[in-house]
Structure 1
């Protein structure tokens, strides 16, 4: 992806130290300290322009959110979205949201084992060519990293418009021994699902009549125990 950023973009990001983290390695194992509390931490990997993570931070004020992307310009745009979502001006910033500049390839350098409760993968690059399969964020080599970073309540929530990527991901989750839940091939079949905060891509694709595929992946021991209890209660 090529982004044409504004002049002075780095200076813009540096002027927002309360919201923007330019080197997430500095906070590995210390994100709760940065947020100033021990609330659960949810991370969106590849947040784009930030509509989803900003909306989630408003909807769930008792959760700490981190939106991560590798492009300065997307961090800048997400910062604007965040301030608009919270109706903030000047030096104000959302109390439960950080935007981190980082390459997901090195995610284990940004978070300590068990530091995260949830990972969101929304409309990740499908890398359609077979030879690029290892770059997909649901490839087993990434799943192995996520499993280490997620705590006992850990889950992965995954959304995509790509049927090919969805099929690949379901197989990858299964091959990695992960339990899947709430699998749907058309999230908004009966109209907009109000329980879900939409991303920019999701809004666009839904307006075009495209199906949104989604599933939840249960990773942590406690999360798996609750899932089994819910399943038993259905019978």
Structure 2
């Protein structure tokens, strides 16, 4: 994906620290203080322009959502949606997913959403895929016991790769759809990419997986 540079993005992000949290490491282990409640936390890695997580936050006021996006020129679009809706249960982070364990303590996150992640199709880029085993280990280090990953993509190769990666890591497969929009799944919230791809007739692949309960 080619990103259009927005030289004003950094300044806008800095102007809204109540929505895009600066220095999120300071909240590690105490995100409940920022939200002023003990509700479960769901995060979306690669939140893009923010349609999915904004709609999820509207629909589920008793869940706290955190959207994580690396690119400044993209997260400002999600920021605009948050400014417009002023949702108390949604915040954004302009950080790299590799830094998750510096931001969240073990057990702080209940669910992770991975929506239309970069497929990194070349074999030499395998370690960059957000469903590669090192990322799965990273997620395990911040999720509650038996925490979940919900994954959507239009890329069949990435989906098949991810199912194998999940299985090899020992995750429990709870739901799989090879054509989400023609399935009986209810309550789907589309991302901007999802709408674009589905309007072209592309099938959308989705799965839910859960980490195994630790042995006592």
Shorter-chain TM-score category?
over 0.9
Change (3 A) 1:221 1:146: same
In 2, the alpha carbon distance for the partners of 1:105 and 1:2 equals 22
| Structure with greater Cα Rg | 1
1:189 to 167, 173, 182: 182
What's the CA shift for 1:50? 0.6
In 2, the alpha carbon distance for the partners of 1:172 and 1:124 equals 15
What's the CA shift for 1:209? 0.5
What's the CA shift for 1:122? 0.3
**Structure 1: any 5+ residue segments left out of the alignment?**
87-92, 223-235
In 1, the alpha carbon distance for the partners of 2:44 and 2:23 equals 16
Q: Mean Cα displacement is larger for which, 102-111 or 182-191? A: 182-191
In the alignment, which residue of structure 2 is the partner of 1:46? Answer: 46
SS at match of 2:110: strand
1:170-222 Cα shifts (integer Å, max 9, x gaps)? 0000000110111010000159x551110001001110100000000112639
In 2, the alpha carbon distance for the partners of 1:123 and 1:46 equals 8
In the alignment, which residue of structure 2 is the partner of 1:79? Answer: 79
In the alignment, which residue of structure 2 is the partner of 1:102? Answer: 95
Q: Does 1:216 align with 2:208?
A: yes
In the alignment, which residue of structure 2 is the partner of 1:32? Answer: 32
In 1, the alpha carbon distance for the partners of 2:50 and 2:198 equals 18
In the alignment, which residue of structure 2 is the partner of 1:201? Answer: 193
What's the CA shift for 1:153? 5.0
In 2, the alpha carbon distance for the partners of 1:158 and 1:111 equals 20
What's the CA shift for 1:3? 3.0
In 1, the alpha carbon distance for the partners of 2:173 and 2:183 equals 22
TM-score, with structure 2 as normaliser? 0.93
SS at match of 2:180: coil
In the alignment, which residue of structure 2 is the partner of 1:132? Answer: 125
In 2, the alpha carbon distance for the partners of 1:221 and 1:164 equals 29
Contact 2:159 2:205 survives alignment (8 Å): yes
Contact 1:206 1:212 survives alignment (8 Å): yes
Q: Does 1:112 align with 2:108?
A: no
1:71-91 Cα shifts (integer Å, max 9, x gaps)? 11222110112234x2xxxxx
Q: Does 1:173 align with 2:166?
A: yes
2:148 to 138, 152, 155: 155
In 1, the alpha carbon distance for the partners of 2:93 and 2:154 equals 25
Q: What root-mean-square deviation, in Å, do the aligned CA atoms of Structure 1 and Structure 2 show?
A: 1.7
**Structure 2: any 5+ residue segments left out of the alignment?**
none
Contact 2:22 2:93 survives alignment (8 Å): yes
In 2, the alpha carbon distance for the partners of 1:52 and 1:217 equals 19
